[in-house]
Amino acid sequence: MADQNQHEQHLLFALSQSDECAFAEIYKTYWKLLHDTAYKRLGDKDQAKDVVQDIFVKLWDQRENLAIDNLKAYLQTAARYQVYNLIAREKVNDTYFKYLATFETSLGAADQNVLYAELQERFGAILNKMPVKRREVFDLRYEEGLSTHDIAEKLNITQKTVQNQLIKAVDTIKEALLMLFLLLAFLFR
């Protein structure tokens, strides 16, 4: 363990000196672990590859200013953070919403209107059940289009708190709507 930590510290020092071989070794050692971490949360191999690529690009770009004690933990945390950012920016290919799009085309106009009204009602109910601060963060992000940085400044909270609240809000909405979609799929099959 001490040898591994010493080896990582040597790699990190070499990386800070722009040693491409050290970077390549870090990449080779941790690529699969990071890909698996991202894929487990996203369920999309291409998006997981993009997340890992972003992590290594940032690692290289910030190589001269890094202060890392545990490289593995740092990279795994970076992977989770990238995934959360991706989810918060609504770039995740959500299979449930794809299903809804195909499901919607099989319905008649009257059924679509009923479905749309039901979704709006459920969405409103979900938002109303959220804690006040979470709802405020969600509204500022998705209704007013503010960045997480701007929301943090406006509400005098950390950007990490904003991101955590957005993740929780999106997860709550997805879970509730999934149940509705499953019910509708059962009723209209």
Predicted confidence (pLDDT) at residue 182 exceeds the cutoff of 90: no
DSSP 8-class letter at 17: T
pLDDT at res. 172 = 82
DSSP 8-class letter at 92: S
Does the global pTM surpass 0.75?
A: no
Predicted confidence (pLDDT) at residue 116 exceeds the cutoff of 60: yes
Q: CA 75, CA 57: separation in Å to the nearest integer?
A: 12
Summarised one tens digit per residue, pLDDT across range 62-83 is 888 878 888 888 888 888 888 8
Four-CA torsion 78, 83, 85, 89, nearest 10 degrees: 160
Predicted confidence (pLDDT) at residue 133 exceeds the cutoff of 70: yes
Quick check: 160 and 80 in contact, CB under 8 A? no
Summarised one tens digit per residue, pLDDT across range 88-110 is 655 444 544 555 455 545 555 55
Name residue, tokens 């289009």. 145
Predicted confidence (pLDDT) at residue 59 exceeds the cutoff of 60: yes
Task: Tell me what the mean pLDDT of segment 150-167 comes to.
Answer: 92
CA angle 146, 80, 182 (to 5 degrees): 80
Q: CA 108, CA 85: separation in Å to the nearest integer?
A: 37
The CA radius of gyration of the chain, in Å to the nearest whole number, is 21
> Which of 38, 6, 37, 10 minimizes the C-alpha distance to 25?
10
> Kind and range of the H or E element at 156?
none
